[in-house]
Amino acid sequence: MHIKRIQIEEGFLSGLDLRLPSGLVAVIGARGTGKTSLIEAIRFGLGARNHTSEATTESTEHAKNTLDGGEITITIDDIFDDIVVSRSAEDNEPRATEAFQPPIIFSQKEIETIGLSEIGRLSLLDGFVRDRAKLRAEEAEIANAIRSLYREIANLESEIARTSTRLAELPSLRAQILSLETRAADISATSAVTAEKSARLDTFASKITAIAVRVDTLERFEVRLREWADALDEHMEEDFGPEPWEGEAAIDPLGPFRAGYDEAIGHVKFASSEFKALMSQVETACLVAAGERQKVEGEARLLRGEVEKLVEGAGAITRQLAASRSGIAQLEAIEKVIVDRRSRLASLRHRRD
């Protein structure tokens, strides 16, 4: 890389137009004639970095004061083509006709500081790493992904911990069922009529259990749908759209993208409405299931009354047995959900690692 030409408009060095020969070039002048100002303007114009944190602010301010609202244009001979790089005092980054690698620039003070500073020496070595900006962008992207994964992991861990507390009831419920089944079998053995009614009660209990599991699953699904709908609505509430353009529509830099953005937001709104529609359908399904359960429980209640007349205490036993079976079925369904969540948790941890 060879700097061929330096042009500055406005500011302390306004009107400067230097054409530099190839090879080693020295800038010579009395104190206060602008040697450092020129070097810092070149560094700023090419976006070359400083080598100590203290020098960064100082040199940037120096360059901006030198340009004083003006602009520097630097022509670089990059062996194959000339690259023209421009930057005004207000620009965040240089503007170039094609990609280029900024040179390494040292001020006299930086050379002294680097020799004494471990961080400065490391920073100098980092300067020889290719595609540092790309690597930084990748690093930032990965860091954001890790933060997102941590949030997902925390949510899953919280859900597993919250849900697992209910599983503590399983051993006692299973022990209770063994005792109740033994007593129910004794009742069924008293007569053929009692046995027939007990068998019908078992059928009712199975139906009630199936309905309870169905409702539990539907309610968990409704919670997930609500989370999605709320998240999408929150994003839309915080969206103010692309920034407005007050100039001519023909030169609006965001003009080609506004329609696409509106269309994408439309998809988000549609997705939110779809989640809400699904929530409404799930709520209806829960109400239907609740009606079915009420009907079956009413029939079971009548039958338990008949069994109670035949054998005292039989109704209470069958009711307790049905409730215990229903509870176990619901907890076993939750157990399967927890197994799935733990598998997802392991996958998220693997991705994070």
Q: Which residues of 99-136 are buried (b: 16+ CB within 10 A; e: fewer)?
A: ebebeebbbeebeebbeebeebeebbeeeeeeeeeeee
Residues of the chain with pLDDT > 70: what percent?
Answer: 92
> In angstroms, what CA-CA distances link 246 with 100, 240, 241, 256, 259?
34, 16, 15, 15, 17
Q: Is the pLDDT assigned to residue 310 strictly greater than 60?
A: no
Identify the CATH class of 2-129.
alpha beta
- The predicted-structure confidence for 129-187, as pLDDT tens digits, reads as follows 777 778 888 888 899 889 988 988 988 888 888 888 777 777 888 888 787 777 667 66
Q: Is the pLDDT assigned to residue 121 strictly greater than 60?
A: yes
Q: Is the pLDDT assigned to residue 30 strictly greater than 60?
A: yes
pTM: 0.48
Are 76 and 3 in contact by the 8 Å Cβ rule? The answer is yes
- Do domains 2-129 and 135-239+267-352 share one topology? The answer is no
Separation between Cα atoms, residue 258 and residue 133, nearest integer Å = 29
Mean pLDDT of 116-127: 74
Residue-range domain boundaries for the chain: 2-129, 135-239+267-352
Across the chain, what does the average pLDDT equal?
Answer: 83
Please give the pLDDT value at position 287. Answer: 92
Please give the pLDDT value at position 268. Answer: 93
Considering Cα of 222, then 227, then 229, then 230, what sign does the dihedral take?
positive
> In angstroms, what CA-CA distances link 232 with 227, 265, 268, 270?
9, 10, 7, 10
Please give the pLDDT value at position 188. Answer: 60
- Overall size of the chain counted in residues: 353
In this structure, which CATH number among 2.60.40, 3.40.50, 1.10.287, 3.30.70 belongs to the domain 135-239+267-352?
Answer: 1.10.287
Q: Both tokens of residue 238?
A: 């915080």
